Each structure stands twice: as C-alpha cells, then as structure tokens.
Amino acid sequence: MNNSNYSDNQKITVAIDCVIFGFDSEKLNLLLFKRKVNPFKGSWSLIGEVLENDLSLDESANEILFKLTGLENIYLKQLKTYGELNRDPAERVISIVYFSLIRVDELLLKEIENKDAKWFALNDVPELILDHSDMVKDSIVELRNMAKDQPLGFELLPKLFTLPQLQTLYECIYNTKFDSRNFRKKILSLNVLEKTNLKDKSTSRKGAFLFGFKENISDDNQKNSDTYNTKDVFQF
Amino acid sequence: MNNSNYSDNQKITVAIDCVIFGFDSEKLNLLLFKRKVNPFKGSWSLIGEVLENDLSLDESANEILFKLTGLENIYLKQLKTYGELNRDPAERVISIVYFSLIRVDELLLKEIENKDAKWFALNDVPELILDHSDMVKDSIVELRNMAKDQPLGFELLPKLFTLPQLQTLYECIYNTKFDSRNFRKKILSLNVLEKTNLKDKSTSRKGAFLFGFKENISDDNQKNSDTYNTKDVFQF
DNA sequence: CCAAAAGTGTTAAGCATACACCCATGC
DNA sequence: GCATGGGTGTATGCTTAACACTTTTGG
C-alpha cells in the first residue's frame, strides 16, 4: 500500500543500476560489485541499489555510485529502464540503468578496490546476476552510438590525451582497427581538439603530443538544428 | 510501506506515458488525452496511467494505450524515464515514456475521438501538464535519430505508400524540404523498398506508384556488426 | 489542351579508402 | 645505430548536392 492519489496498491520497487566502463589506455574494463543482499548475495553485479525517495533519478544514480565505489562527479547517462515481470525473483523490481565511461588510472584503481568493487576486462567479465548482462550489452551499443556524435567526451574529457590513445579507445569500443592516417584526419577535421605542446613519452621514445578539447565550441562546426539534408538524415 | 526485501519505505509511484505521433499524409499530429484525475483534471496530457503490478513495462504501455484510446498492436518504443523530484505536485511519481509514430486514417480518427482522446497538429499543441512537453520534444529528437537508421518503419510499415508520401513524412519529421530526385535516389538505393504495380491516384491525375517494404531483408545491405570503418563511426 | 503532381539524369565537389615511408628519441 | 612507436600525403572511387524538364491523366 502506498497511500497514493494515483494508486493504492502498486507494489513495485524502483532500483538504479550503473554500468561503469573504464578505459586504461589499453582496453575497456567494467566495474562490478560484490552483491551484499539476498538473493544472489556474493555474486557479481552492477553497481545498484533502490531509488531514494528524496533524490531525482540522476542524483540517486550518482549517490549510489559514490556510496558503493567512492567515485564522485562522474557524468552518468541514462540508458533505459528494465521492467520485465520476473527479472528479479525476490519481488517486482524495475531498474533504471545509467552508464558512463571513465578513465582508469592507478590511483582510482586501488581506491575502488577497497570497496568490494572490482574492475574486470570487458572480455573477461564473470557471470552477472539477473538481466545485468543485457544492460551491459545495451550500454555498449549506446556507447558506440554516442561515440559517433561527439568525439567521446565522458570523463576522459578533463584530461589531456594523445591521438594514439584516443584511437585505441575507439578501437576498443568498436572492437576493430582503424588506419591511423584516416583516423587522425577525421578526428582533427571535427575541429574540437586542441593540440598542446606537451608530449606524453610514456609509450614511446619519440613521444606523442597531448590534445585537449577546445574551450569555445561556438564554431562553424555547430549545426543549425533547423536545416537537414539527405546526408544528415540517412547515415548508414 | 511496501513490504519488500529491498526497501521497506520506498514511496514512489511508477507511471507510464505514451507519446503517439500520427501522420496523415500531410503533417504530424500528436495524440492527447483529457486528464481524468486530479490534479490537473480536464487538462490535456499524454496518454498515461500508473504501471500495473502484473504487466511488464512494454505490456503496460500497450494496455494503457488501448484502454485510453482503443489503439491496439502499435509498436511502442521506450524513450526514457523521467524522475525529477517534484515533477508531479501530488506525490513522487516517476514516468517511463514510450513513443510511436502511426498512420492516421479517417477510420482511426473517429474511433479515437470517441474516447476523450484527440489529435492535435504538432505545431498547434495546447499547453501540456507537468513535464509532458519535454517528453514530446525528446521524442521528436529520438524520432529523427531513428529515421536515420531505418527508413521509418513504425506502424506505417504494414501499409503501402508512395514515395511522395514518404518524402512528406521525412520533411515533417525534419521540418525541412528535400530535393525529390535526391530523396528518391537515396531511399531506393537502400534496397529495402519494393515497387508494386499499384498506383495511388488520390493526390494527382497521373498517380504515384505504391511501395512496400521488402520481405527478405537478408540482403547485402545487412551490416556485419563486427566491422566498422571511420565512416560508420563518425556520422555528423 | 491545360493544370498539377510524378518521375527522371548529369555534373561537380567533397569525403572516405587504401596504402608506405620518414621522424624523433632512448637505449 | 637501431628499434619503437608517432606522424604524415596522395590518388581513386563513391556519395551527395545542385539543378530543370518531360510524363501522365482527369477535367
């Protein structure tokens, strides 16, 4: 009973789950959490809990992520809501799923692992509870869609990165290889990256220039949303 | 109190709302419903109600749409879930939004209007309650995204249509005009439409050929999802 | 025979692809 | 001086954009 204007007898629990991808300059990883409640206590699951009464969906997702992993100020994007009838054997639960892609560095790596959370290489993920594998699969599809439209901001954005790193990230997301000349041509033609004079020498003797995102995105690459041509419309 | 394993005190109502666009060969329309409950009783709203305990999200969306409008067997796609804290002044409600694009014909038009539902031209929609206008705006964005990837199946699919009609539909969705020669070239090159020998003479003396979707989509236009090139990845 | 909408083809420009070598540096 | 990864240019083919006239037929 929830004593509601709209429904006196709705018995549905609302939960939030977070799919957190981490890029470590080499491969994509997935952040999992050792579940603390029954059923499936002790199994690996996405980062999730029930929705708080007094937090918006976005706020609650951030809060849960912080509580379970210590990660803070991460941009989380809503993916979709899962609500099959028996997706959770214990009771009727619908889950609103968020996802993000962040950069994993050493520091972050240890901090997180103190908290019963653990990074797994994406192609070495253990069996997940409930429909969590679907959530991960759907997130990857969405990740690919998003990477099309913006040169992958996410939480990589604040940091500087090299073009070979960015290319590796794209290759991980799409699970393929790109020609480096074409990749650079394309990504630079977007006019959103800014070269710095700094070099990252951690992966080669020659070193690779670091890039950041441009501040003023106010440029000619802004599209007037009232004009479309057939090229904009059909993109296969 | 909902007597749950996971949470004893969650007080959140879950609702479903449907954004139904209707194309009448000329323009896009939006289906609205005169709200039957307080607050805002009598105002125009999207088609929505609380989620049923024993229906999945998809099922409940279909059921609500049927109950309030008589529309049946409509493909509904989940858009996203709205959950700001005070989006509904009466109580905490989160709303899972679905949308669809259907074909409006005469018959449908009258049937629906017997039910307190009404079609409004998209650029002549009355003020909507709560955050329903956001839902409509977001649906249009999603509609545009989807129209890119498939030549607009939705509920137009089962019927035959002429290319000028299809072009008009696209022009409505994108709110622009296309060159008919380029539009036809492009859409036919996709190899998913099949010309019939039938002509629709309702809009011209000459008549326009009717097309349908091909049955066997098994063709060379199927993309192997494990191969990508820069063109697939960056689509601006 | 005329009005009104359907249907068609070509050219030029831009973009994606494929492909191979030089560069800078630390050791 | 050499091994390693970073960085660059060009020719070819494909896709898109721009553009105007002919066809059909009911009245």
What is the per-residue pLDDT across A127-167, written as a single tens digit (0 to 9) for each? 899 899 999 999 998 988 877 766 666 565 557 889 998 89
To the question of domain B153-234 being in CATH 1.10.10.10, the answer is: yes
Rounded Cα gap, residues B66 and B76, in angstroms: 12
pLDDT at B224 over 60: no
pLDDT of residue B214: 80
pLDDT at A53 over 50: yes
pLDDT at B234 over 80: no
Work out the mean pLDDT of chain B and round it to a whole number.
84
* Cβ–Cβ below 8 Å for A38 and B2: no
**Strands A28-34 and A13-23, bridge-based pairing:** antiparallel
Q: How far is the CA of B164 from the C1' of D22 (A)?
A: 18
Retrieve residue A208's tokens. 């690779």
Cβ of B148 near strand D (distance < 7 A): no
The residue ranking higher by pLDDT, B127 or A56, is A56
Q: Which chain A residue lies closest to B182 (C-alpha atoms)?
A: A230
Is the distance from CB of A112 to CB of A71 less than 8 angstroms? yes
pLDDT of residue B223: 43
Residues 6+ apart with CB under 8 A from B225: none
pLDDT of residue A45: 94
* Cβ–Cβ below 8 Å for A236 and B81: no
Q: Which of A28-32, A111-115, B68-72, B99-103 has the lowest mean pLDDT?
A: A111-115
For residue A53, list chain B residues with Cβ-Cβ distance below 8 A: 9-12, 92
pLDDT of residue A31: 92
Cβ of B168 near strand C (distance < 7 A): no
In angstroms, what separates the C-alpha of B230 from chain A's closest C-alpha? 7
Is the distance from CB of A69 to CB of A33 less than 8 angstroms? yes
Burial A123-142 (b: 16+ CB within 10 A, else e): eeeeebbbbbeebbebbbeb
* Cβ–Cβ below 8 Å for A182 and B54: no
pLDDT at B105 over 90: no
Picking from A143, A151, A216, A217, the residue whose alpha carbon sits closest to that of residue A184 is A151
Cβ of B182 near strand C (distance < 7 A): yes
pLDDT of residue A220: 41
What is the per-residue pLDDT across A166-224, written as a single tens digit (0 to 9) for each? 898 888 888 889 999 999 999 898 888 899 999 989 888 999 999 988 875 544 444 44
Rounded Cα gap, residues B106 and B95, in angstroms: 31
pLDDT of residue B218: 47
pLDDT of residue B32: 93
Rounded Cα gap, residues B45 and B95, in angstroms: 13
CATH architecture type of domain A13-147: Alpha-Beta Complex (3.90)
pLDDT of residue B184: 94
Q: How confident is the model at residue B36 (pLDDT cuts 50, 70, 90)?
A: confident
Instruction: Say which nucleotide is closest to residue B167, CA to C1' distance.
Output: C6
pLDDT at B236 over 60: no
What is the percent of chain B with per-residue pLDDT over 70, rounded to a whole number? Answer: 81
Q: How confident is the model at residue B192 (pLDDT cuts 50, 70, 90)?
A: confident
pLDDT of residue A133: 93
The residue ranking higher by pLDDT, A212 or B116, is A212
For residue A233, list chain B residues with Cβ-Cβ distance below 8 A: 147-148, 170, 174, 178
pLDDT of residue B123: 85
Q: How far is the CA of A191 from the C1' of D2 (A)?
A: 37
pLDDT at A98 over 90: yes
Q: Which of A64-73, A136-145, B30-39, B157-166 has the lowest mean pLDDT?
A: B157-166
Task: Taking residues B37-42, report their average pLDDT.
Answer: 87
pLDDT of residue B222: 44
What is the percent of chain A with per-residue pLDDT over 90, rounded to a whole number? Answer: 41
Q: How far is the CA of A229 from the C1' of C11 (A)?
A: 19
pLDDT of residue B110: 67
Work out the mean pLDDT of chain A and round it to a whole number.
83
Q: How confident is the model at residue B221 (pLDDT cuts 50, 70, 90)?
A: very low
Element (H, E) at B184: helix B180-189
Residues 6+ apart with CB under 8 A from A151: A166, A187, A190, A192, A193
Q: How far is the CA of B229 from the C1' of C17 (A)?
A: 9
Q: How confident is the model at residue B180 (pLDDT cuts 50, 70, 90)?
A: very high
Q: Looking at strand C, which nucleotides approach a protein CB closer than 7 A?
A: 3-10, 15-20, 23-26
Classify B57 as helix, strand or coil.
helix
pLDDT of residue A114: 65
Task: Taking residues B121-150, report their average pLDDT.
Answer: 87
pLDDT at A235 over 60: no
Picking from B145, B115, B143, the residue whose alpha carbon sits closest to that of residue B23 is B143
Task: Taking residues B94-107, report their average pLDDT.
Answer: 86
Q: Which of A137-146, A170-179, B63-72, B222-231 has the lowest mean pLDDT?
A: B222-231
Q: Which of residues 171-190 of A touch strand D (CB under 7 A)?
A: 180-182, 184-185
Q: Does B40 touch chain A (CB under 8 A)?
A: no
* Cβ–Cβ below 8 Å for B6 and A91: yes
For residue A58, list chain B residues with Cβ-Cβ distance below 8 A: 83
**Domain ranges, ordered by start, for chain A:** 13-147, 153-234
The residue ranking higher by pLDDT, A26 or A86, is A86
Q: Which of residues 187-226 of A touch strand C (CB under 7 A)?
A: 189, 201, 205-207
Rounded Cα gap, residues A109 and A76, in angstroms: 19
For residue A225, list chain B residues with Cβ-Cβ distance below 8 A: none
pLDDT of residue B8: 79
